[in-house]
Amino acid sequence: MSIHVLINYVIIYVEECISVALAEKVEELQRLGKRLQMLTAHDALVLLRNSFSLPKLLYILRTAPCFRSATLETYDDCLREILDGVTNNLLERDSQAWVQAILPVKLGGLGIQSAVNIAPSAFLASVHSSSELVD
């Protein structure tokens, strides 16, 4: 019985640590978003897509089960607001414009990747690639 209680405490602690780490990434993205407003739209979009959005978050997504955290939606909301300011478009969470923005460029989108959509597959890919080392 005591081992189950210990496991529950560890799981709760890990989830809290993940939320804190993701909250720091959200704050960093907000800071970068304010600075992107000073650039031209094309430069800001290229930097947002290639450097500031998912690449800043990918290590955490691969190494921790972040897909359980609600903070990822906050990250996506912050990303959507920054993209809204850069493109001067109204991008609501479930709007057709947001769905098109997260499509790859070859499919007519902007190539912005949603952290909520990427998190489960990033973590599972990391687990699979390290499974031989664990066994």
Please say whether the beta carbons of 53 and 112 come within 8 A: yes
Could you give the number of structural domains in the chain?
Answer: 1
Which pLDDT does position 98 carry in this prediction?
85
Indicate the SS3 state at residue 108: coil
Q: For a pLDDT cut of 70, what percent of the chain falls above it?
A: 90
Question: Number of C-alpha atoms within 13 angstroms, CB side, residue 116?
Answer: 15
Residue 5 has pLDDT above 70, yes or no: no
pLDDT digits (tens, 9 = 90+) for 60-87: 899 888 888 888 999 999 999 999 888 8
Alpha helices in the chain (DSSP H): 2-36, 41-47, 58-63, 71-87, 96-101, 115-134
Q: pLDDT-based confidence at 31, cuts 50/70/90?
A: very high
Q: 120 is in which domain, residue-wise?
A: 2-134
Please say whether the beta carbons of 101 and 109 come within 8 A: yes
B/e letters for 38-73, b = 16+ CB within 10 Å, e = fewer, are: eeeeeebbebbbeebbbeebeebbbebbbbbbebbe
Terminal Cα distance for the chain, rounded: 27
Which pLDDT does position 74 carry in this prediction?
92
Average pLDDT over residues 6-34: 81
User: In whole angstroms, what is the distance from residue 47 CA to residue 44 CA?
Assistant: 5
Which pLDDT does position 75 carry in this prediction?
92
Which pLDDT does position 55 carry in this prediction?
84
